[in-house]
Amino acid sequence: SSGINAEWPLRPGNKSPIKICITGGAGQIAYSLLLEVASGKVFGADQPVILHLLDIPHCMEKLNGVVMELEDLALSLVRGVVATDDPMVAFADVDVALLLGAFPRLKGMERKDLLAKNNDIFRVTGKAIDSVGKKSIKVVVVGNPCNTNALTCMKNAPSIPKENFTCLTRLDQNRAKSQLAHKLGVSVSQIMNVIIWGNHSGTQFPDARHASVVLNGVIQPLTGALSDDAWIKSDFITTVQSRGAAVIKARGLSSAMSAAKAIGDHTRDWWFGTKEGEFTSMGVISDGSYNIPAGIIYSFPVTIQAGGKWSIVQGLKQDDFATEKMVATYNELQEEATEAAKLAAEADN
């Protein structure tokens, strides 16, 4: 069903609309994210959008309520909304796909069961993107386990370049940046080049050793300004690794507002590029950099050119402590990838 007529006449002099698909469209992250996207914060204040919202059949009534609210925002950049439970409709001719929808981990559920449920979802998603999406589509996977879900999606969309599939570790990066700013007593805008390596899970490696801080107008190494190596190697890492669980414990729901902000940050940087001298963390296809074997979706520091071409930052020195952390998170991802490949083979037989 289409809430707003997707063929609204364009105002003269405006850019052509881009099509953005958001899956899990009736969910709580989408509820926070839609305003970011619809108001121009992600793709620019002069860029009209047509929103494709996908959810499962029993969520369609709720999704239609979201469409009503999008209409009631009365935002001039929103040129159309399509609400659907059909992936072939949702991904048709789409420029960017933000994949929020995934099967949640229920109480008592084994990780293997979670992988199996999501393997099915992201195989279907990948095949639909491969079939009807633009070949230049940018895909951001948020639904967990997001690294392996992104890998499954990518493997099922062989006509789309592998580098067009990413997963979200920007929330972890934002969490890390905030912890560092708090510790130093500075604004988050003064901190740059914090890295998240590996999996978006409890094994991720938040790394402040290559970060910088602007103090009195001068950029300097963060570790020198902080001079608390013990904290950087212990509480800083564990706080970031477990922050999602801490939010759930306190709020009774998973991070939505902060996740939506991070998705907007990730997507905006991928669309417009990173600032000169700065890099950001994204889950991308590994190529052997930092001795992480090629072929898995692993979070690396990247620089991005306008238009979306990303490159893994090279030459960052690693000590034994960092190497151990980077290998541990790789090992977990490799286990997930092996399990996902096994599930895919069983599904094909």
> Which residues are identified as catalytic?
200
Beta carbons within 8 Å of 69's beta carbon, 6+ residues apart: none
- The Cα angle at residue 170 between residues 230 and 107, in degrees rounded to 5: 85
Beta carbons within 8 Å of 331's beta carbon, 6+ residues apart: none
Residue 276 burial (C-beta neighbours within 10 Å; 0-12, 13-18, 19+): exposed
Residue 46 burial (C-beta neighbours within 10 Å; 0-12, 13-18, 19+): exposed
Among 231, 21, 278, 222, CA closest to 132: 21
CA distance 280 to 145: 20
Among 279, 94, 319, 77, CA closest to 195: 279
Across the beta sheet with 218-221, the strand order is 191-192, 212-215, 218-221
Among 20, 161, 24, 9, CA closest to 82: 20
Question: Tokens at residue 288, please?
Answer: 């052997």
